[in-house]
Amino acid sequence: MTGLDTLSHLTYDPAALRIGAAHIGMGAFHRGHQQTYYDDLARAGHRDWGVAGINVAPPDIAAVHAAQNGVYSVLAEDQDDCTLRRIGTLRRADDRPDPCDPLWDEIGFATLTITEKGYCHVSGSTMLDTSSAIAADLATPDAPVTAVGFLAAMLDRRRRNGGAPITLASCDNVASNGALLRGVLTDFVARTRPGLVGWIEDNVAFPDSMVDRIVPRMSGASADRLARAAGKPDALGVVGEPYRQWVLADRFAQAPRPPLEEVGVQVVPDVEIFEYMKHRMLNGLQSAFAELGRLAGHGASHEAATDPALVAWARRFLAAQAETLTCPPGENLADYAATTLHRLANPTIVHPLAQIASDASFKLPQRIFAPAADRLVAGRDVALHASIVAGWIAQAGDATPDRYGVTVSDPGAARVAIARDAAGSARAVADAVIRAPLFPEALAASAVFKVQVADWLELIRAGDPDRLRARLRDDTRSDAHA
C-alpha cells in the first residue's frame, strides 16, 4: 500500500489543535476531501486549524465522533494506488448546534457542503424558494433547521457582540456558489432580520470555490474494506478516490484564514471557469451515466464507465462539453476528459447511479441544460444532451430501490412525472416538460431539441437496453468533429 508509512499515523496531537475553522455539512465528502487539506496543514506544523463541524440535518455523527475522539481514516484507492490516511483535524462535531454558541465568534473562516438543495433557492436564481425547507426558518428564525437559517442566527449574534468579519466559502456543486450563498442569506435576512443586511455586506466575504473528489456515501461493503485496511471498524471513516482538487477565489474577509495554498489548494482570481469545467465535464458525465447507465442496466458509475457503448458515447459527450468551456489556466481539456473517464472507471469506488441521479432537478440545469443552451446558441448539435434529458424524464419519480438499496430522491421529480404521465405521445411529453424557467430559454424555444428528446423517449419507451446501448454507441450526431 503506497503512502502507508507517511499518512497512516498521526504526526500531531489532535487535542493540541486550536479550533480556527468551521464547516457546515460533515458528510462523507467533507471528511474525505477538505479534512485531508486541514490534515496536511497539521502535518506541516500548523496548530491553529482544527475544525468545528456542524450538521444542521441528519445523518447525525456527533456520537460516533465522540466515541473515537474525532480521529478516523480515509482510504483512497484507484486502479493504480491505495493510501490510508489517519485524520485528527475534525476537532468538534455538533449535530444541530446552538447558533449562539460563543465558539462561533472565534471563527474567521467557514466552509459549507450542504448539497444543491441545501440553499433552498429557486433553481437557476439566487432567490429563496419559500416553499422549501426555509419556510420553517422564516416562521421561527431563532430555531433554525437549515444552514441558511443557522448562519443568519450565528451572524446576528456576532454583529450584536461587535464581532469580527468572517469568510463563508460555499463548496457545493452549484454555479457561482459564493454568489448563491450571499443571495439566499441576504434574501433570508432581509425578511427576518433586516438590520443584519448591511453588516453582512460590510463584514462577510463569500468566495466561490470548486472542490472535487469522488467520495460516495458509505455502504456496508466500503465500511468492510476500510475496516480491513485500518485493522478495525471506523464508523467515521470514508472511502474515496485518490484524486482531489480545491480551487478557492482569492476573496477573503479581514479575518484569519488557513493558509490552504501551502497544501495544494489553488487560490485564484476566477473560480468560475474551473467550476464550469468540473460541472460540465466530470459532473455532467456522472449525471449522464446516472440517467443513461441505469437505462442500460447498470447500477454503479464504474459499470457504466467500462461499458464500451457508453464509453464511445462519453468520449463524444466530453468533447461536446469541452466546446462550451474556456480552458482554465494550467488545465488541458483533452487531458481532463481522459482523466474523467479513468476516474469514473475506478472499480474500487462503487458510486451508485441512484445516488448521483438524486436531486437531478438541481443538478441537471448547470451540468446539462446550460451547456446544451450554449451549444444551440453557437449553432451546434444537442442530440447527446437530448438523450440525457429523455432519460431523466422517463425515470423521474421512479422510487424503486436499486441493487445497492439506494432510491433516487428528487423533490423536483414529482412535477416532471405528473407532466409526463398526463401528456401522452413522446412529442407531447417533451413539449410539456421542456419549459422555462427550469430549462434555459434557448432550449425551451428549440423545436429541434424537443424533437430529439421525443425521439430518445420513443426508444426508451421500447424498453430494450441493447437497442439503447447500440444507439448510444453509434449515434454520432453530436460528434464534436461531425
- Distance in Å, CB of 479 to ligand CS2, minimum: 25
Whether the Cβ atoms of residue 270 and residue 176 lie closer than 8 Å to each other: no
Burial of 378 (0-12, 13-18, 19+ CB in 10 A): exposed
Sequence-ordered strand ranges (E) for 213-308: 238-240, 245-249, 266-268
- Distance in Å, CB of 189 to ligand CS2, minimum: 29
Site stretch for ligand CS2 (CB under 6 A), options 72-80, 163-171, 212-220, 406-414: 212-220
The binder of ligand CS2 chosen from 177, 286, 340, 395 (CB under 6 A): 286
Binding mask of the shown chain, residues 35 to 74, with x at each position contacting ligand CS2 by CB under 6 A: ----------------------------------------
The yes or no reply on residue 31 touching ligand CS2 (CB under 6 A) is no
What are 134's three cell numbers?
426555509
Alpha-carbon distance of 273 to 172, in angstroms, equals 15
The yes or no reply on residue 363 touching ligand CS2 (CB under 6 A) is yes
Determine the 3-state secondary structure of 352 from DSSP.
strand
The yes or no reply on residue 91 touching ligand CS2 (CB under 6 A) is no
- Distance in Å, CB of 302 to ligand CS2, minimum: 12
Alpha-carbon distance of 153 to 275, in angstroms, equals 29
The binder of ligand CS2 chosen from 90, 214, 247, 337 (CB under 6 A): 214
Instruction: Compute the radius of gyration of the chain from its Cα atoms.
Output: 22
The binder of ligand CS2 chosen from 43, 117, 213, 280 (CB under 6 A): 213
The yes or no reply on residue 112 touching ligand CS2 (CB under 6 A) is no
Closest CB to ligand CS2 among 242 and 256?
Answer: 242
The residues pairing with 238 across neighbouring beta strands, listed in sequence order, are 74
Closest CB to ligand CS2 among 42 and 300?
Answer: 300
Closest CB to ligand CS2 among 34 and 478?
Answer: 34
Binding mask of the shown chain, residues 154 to 173, with x at each position contacting ligand CS2 by CB under 6 A: -------------------x
DSSP character string of 119-166 = G-B-TTSSSB-TTSTHHHHHH-TTS--SHHHHHHHHHHHHHHTTPPPE
- What is the number of residues in the chain? 482
The residues pairing with 21 across neighbouring beta strands, listed in sequence order, are 51, 109
List the interface residues with ligand CS2, window 439-478 (CB under 6 A).
none
The yes or no reply on residue 283 touching ligand CS2 (CB under 6 A) is yes
Closest CB to ligand CS2 among 208 and 212?
Answer: 212
Closest CB to ligand CS2 among 32 and 237?
Answer: 32
Phi, psi of 29, rounded to the nearest 5 degrees? -60, -50
Whether the Cβ atoms of residue 136 and residue 145 lie closer than 8 Å to each other: yes
Whether the Cβ atoms of residue 61 and residue 93 lie closer than 8 Å to each other: yes
The yes or no reply on residue 356 touching ligand CS2 (CB under 6 A) is yes
Site stretch for ligand CS2 (CB under 6 A), options 54-62, 206-214, 323-331, 456-464: 206-214
Phi, psi of 166, rounded to the nearest 5 degrees? -150, 150
Residue 269: other Cβ atoms inside 10 A = 8
The binder of ligand CS2 chosen from 355, 395, 446, 452 (CB under 6 A): 355
Residues that bind ligand CS2 (CB under 6 A): 173, 212-214, 283, 286, 355-356, 363
